[in-house]
Amino acid sequence: MIKSELIEKLAEDHPHLYQRDVERVVNTILEEVTVALEQGNRVELRGFGAFSVRNRPARQGRNPRTGDSVAVKEKHVPFFKTGKELRERVDAINS
């Protein structure tokens, strides 16, 4: 599901809301999660999961084409850990 499909689904499920309002809510939520991660904070949605930022230290990598050593800089990457309820629901579908 992509963001536009999520917005359509929410608008269908809540016909009393305008689609533009649903879109504004979804965009606001995603923007707040993004801002929190930019600031190094953790965002937890109970039953769904937690977003956090992890540090990847600098290292020596290899160029796969030439095999030469390449210095890879330190970076911070977003990380998502699923919540227990989400894991159990997905597992129940696939079992």
Residue 43 near residue 33, CB atoms below 8 Å: yes
Give the DSSP letter of residue 57.
-
pLDDT at 29: 96
Give the DSSP letter of residue 12.
H
pLDDT at 95: 67
pLDDT at 93: 84
C-alpha–C-alpha distance, residues 16 and 20, integer Å: 12
Residue 38 near residue 77, CB atoms below 8 Å: no
- Locate 82 and state its tokens: 């699923």
Per-residue pLDDT tens listing for the chain (95 residues): 999 999 999 999 999 999 999 999 999 999 999 999 999 999 999 999 999 999 999 999 999 999 999 999 999 999 999 999 999 999 998 76
pLDDT at 30: 96
Distance of CA 5 to the CA centre of its chain: 16
